Chain A
Amino acid sequence: MVAVLNRWVRHVPPWTLYLAGLAHIVWLFWLGETGGLGPEPINALERALGETGLKLIIVGLAITPVMKVARINLIRFRRAIGLTAFLYISVHLLVWLLLDVFLLSEIWADIVKRPYITVGMAGFALLVPLAVTSNDWSVRRMGAAAWKRLHRLTYAAAVLGAVHNVMLAKTWAAEPLTYLAVMIALLVLRLRWRTKPRSGNAGGMGRARQGPEPVGKGMSA
């Protein structure tokens, strides 16, 4: 079953994710313009974009655990998932800047005065170097170890994004808290795996480990 899934997944080119993301974003704008997002489409659009971005970050961070636990190998989609998440969050930010707040004075005031905006902007700022270096050339140039170290920032950005989402609700709502709990669980999982005795490998869960491991412990087909 897992083997079949892994084989099937190999036939899906990662670029389809970019296309799907773009199409979904265009679809959301179209919905907003035609009443499909309700009477207040700007906030609805911001939410839909931000939440999809968060979900994609969760999916991206879950790829390694899923491979370790369920032996499903989706590693070839990770870059596309990460970059698509970045696309959603960038458009989320643009909608906030251009359609929601718009006034330059108020944008700056919000960033420095409103903790949830500050936290969200910090999360976005952390994502920028990750997006910029999400290409083969950057991996080669930086070296795998340094590149992986940099990309651990994803966890910080993810937690900031989830906290941003919790903070903007009027009260403690279940859904944003669930996102935050999942982010923290993924982070804890990552830290626990790291502290297992595996010294000498600065790269953390490097590509080298990911290859042989699923095979080593046998398939749960």
Chain B
Amino acid sequence: VGGLGLIGAGRARAETLEPNSFEDITSYNNFYEFGFDKGDPVKYAGALTTEPWRIEIDGLVERPGSYALDEIVSAMTIEERIYRFRCVEAWSMVVPWNGFELADLLTWAGVKPGAKYVAFETLYRPKEMPAQRGGSIDWPYREGLRLDEAMHPLTLMATGLYGKPMPKQNGAPIRLVVPWKYGFKSIKSIVKITLTDKQPETTWNMLQPQEYGFYANVNPQVDHPRWSQARERVIGGGLFSAKKPTLMFNGYEDEVAGLYDGMDLETFY
């Protein structure tokens, strides 16, 4: 498989990455369904029930249907991936995820010719997700990828971290991880996956289109309108740690830059 060399490169890099502590990763989160503060998810996500969990797969697929999470996971190969995680708010972490490649799931479901994009939806359950009872965001949270991005071997469906089942505040029981994109693309607590031929609507892009693009690739040269993306605060460094330079495509340039050949990354931000 052509992916082998690529994964090898990822692994060589992974050795230099020092994961954040489990404590950091599970106490500093954006999960707006539970509140807008970084500390809200760990406070309120306990109310979320994640069993039973089903994922609806529909649109341009050979085997549409509503699948129990267990059925999907048992057909996949779970591995560990240590990835950089860069938030659009200019902070970053390193997370040892456990999960399977989204490509495997899409192949399992059977992608029909004509599919160009993959759309994702988060659970909508206001009883358990207090901020969904407020009106500032058009719930459910939605995200999307171009099909080639979705099929990329770095794109992960994560079911855990540090070898433990996915903590609720991090998007239990299953979430997307796209390490070369800003964190908001990595949609949490997924209940629906749709293969489509049109670019799907995505939550942050719908809210503030001039600030959050569909692509949202990590790019130190394209600033957010309200802050610089050139550097990032590494979480866990304490009061006196300096920001570090942000890497193009969050350090995954060799692996993914080819996906965007010929595209103006300032236009398609």
Contacts and interface: CB of A to CB of B under 8 A. Distances in A.
Q: Which of A33, A100, A114 has the most CB of B within 10 A?
A: A114
A216 to B, nearest CB: 46
Nearest to A102: B242
Contacts of A39: 20, 23-24, 27-28, 235-236
A100 B242 CA distance: 7
B162 to A, nearest CB: 15
B58 interface: no
B56 interface: no
Interface residues of A, number: 28
A116 B238 CA distance: 25
B226 interface: yes
A38 interface: yes
Nearest to B35: A173
Interface in A96-111: 99-102, 106, 109-110
Q: Which residue among A100, A101, A171 has the maximum number of chain B CB atoms within 10 Å of its CB?
A: A171
A153 interface: no
B228 A33 contact: no
A41 B23 CA distance: 14
Given A40-B91, A102-B243, A172-B136, A116 B38 contact: no
Interface string A167-183: 11111111000000000
A89 B239 CA distance: 18
**B-side interface mostly:** loop
Given A110-B228, A167-B226, A38 B208 contact: no
Nearest to A45: B239
Contacts of A29: 239
B37 to A, nearest CB: 9
| Count class of interface residues, chain B | 20 to 34
B137 interface: yes
B208 A115 contact: no
Contacts of A75: none
A116 B226 contact: yes
Interface string B231-248: 101011011111100000
B67 interface: no
> Quick one: which of B39, B233, B238 has the most chain A CB within 10 A?
B238
Given A115-B226, A171-B137, A38 B242 contact: no
B239 A99 contact: yes
A173 B36 contact: yes
**7 smallest A-B Cβ distances: which pairs?**
A39-B24, A39-B28, A32-B239, A39-B235, A173-B36, A41-B239, A33-B239
26 contacts: A29-B239, A32-B239, A38-B38, A39-B28, A39-B236, A40-B28, A40-B38, A40-B233, A40-B235, A41-B238, A43-B233, A45-B239, A101-B243, A102-B242, A102-B243, A106-B230, A114-B226, A115-B226, A116-B226, A169-B36, A170-B88, A171-B32, A171-B136, A171-B137, A172-B136, A174-B134
Given A40-B38, A41-B239, A171-B137, 13 more contacts: A32-B239, A33-B238, A39-B23, A39-B28, A39-B235, A42-B239, A43-B233, A100-B243, A106-B230, A110-B228, A168-B226, A170-B36, A171-B32
